[in-house]
Amino acid sequence: MSPALDGLVAVVTGGASGIGAAVAERLGAEGARIAVLDLRPEDAAPGIFAVAANIAQEDSVNTAIEDVFEHFGRIDILINNAGIGAQGDIADNPDEEWARVLNINVTGIARVTRAALPHLRRSPAAAIVNTSSIAATAGLPQRALYSASKGAVLALTRAMAADHLHEGIRVNCVSPGTADTPWVGRLLDSADDPAAERAALEARQPHGRLVNPGEIAEAVLYLASPGAGSTTGVSLAVDGGMDALRLRPRS
């Protein structure tokens, strides 16, 4: 049997680190040819076609997508994964920070998708997977701006799925819980007591640990694969049960 993504080309934004890097590796192992778009292409795994791109800027995105098409001659799968964090309650961030975060986490998806759309329309197996978050559906403390951005990603995913179904383009998202990535590592390092902070984050997830980026990559692989041909407009939680379960304390 040939690998699930044999012959297909996948673009992964933010693919030089964390979840994006795990996704790039996993899709590559299933036969996809991978292009990473990242602010830091030099951090991508050796041998990967990595293009410098800032998803906050239209020119940068358009040039990068052109580079990918020139290199591979097609684009079938788009993983809109690049994103940034924001901390604080509703009063803590000035308008400029709201604009900066929404520009990357939300408009960035619009920008990259817009550029890739003509290529996706020509693919026999087009799929888009966006990275939302548990923050889209659960009220987390001190994450007002970040949650607003990821809630928008969830809503955008459904709207995109509706618009592009008739063109043969499926659109889904993954909604990870707190995952063990360099980003979360940086957050822990900045805490007063990193070990206590890590223990609190682990305890918040019903399975008692952080999510492994490889587990998110498996979910992305499924949603991106032609085998998921009847799945569109969904959010696949990869959160150890945090969104769906209400457990009783174990005695």
Q: Report d(CA 220, CA 173) in Å as an integer.
A: 8
Q: At what angle do helices 182-189 and 194-204 cross, to 10 degrees?
A: 130
CB of 213 to ligand NAD, least distance (A): 7
Q: Which of 11, 20, 23, 26 binds ligand NAD (CB under 6 A)?
A: 20
CB of 251 to ligand NAD, least distance (A): 30
Asked if residue 184 binds ligand NAD (CB under 6 A), the reply is yes
Asked if residue 5 binds ligand NAD (CB under 6 A), the reply is no
User: Which of 146, 169, 210, 236 is an active site residue?
Assistant: 146
Asked if residue 140 binds ligand NAD (CB under 6 A), the reply is no
Q: Which of 5, 79, 82, 115 binds ligand NAD (CB under 6 A)?
A: 82
Read off the tokens for 30. Answer: 């299933």
Cβ atoms 72, 35 nearer than 8 A: yes
Q: Report d(CA 43, CA 240) in Å as an integer.
A: 29
CB of 35 to ligand NAD, least distance (A): 13
Judged by CB under 6 A, the number of residues near ligand NAD is: 28
Q: Report d(CA 209, CA 203) in Å as an integer.
A: 7
Asked if residue 133 binds ligand NAD (CB under 6 A), the reply is yes
Is 222 noted as a catalytic residue in this protein?
Answer: no
Burial class (CB in 10 A: 0-12, 13-18, 19+), 177: buried
Nearest Cα residue to 11 out of 165, 114, 151: 114
CB of 136 to ligand NAD, least distance (A): 9
Asked if residue 154 binds ligand NAD (CB under 6 A), the reply is no
144-155: burial string, b at 16+ Cβ within 10 Å, e else: bbbbbbbbbbbe
Q: Which of 31, 40, 229, 245 binds ligand NAD (CB under 6 A)?
A: 40
List active site positions.
146
- Residues in contact with ligand NAD by CB under 6 A are 13-14, 16-20, 38-40, 53-56, 81-84, 104, 131, 133, 176, 178-179, 181-184
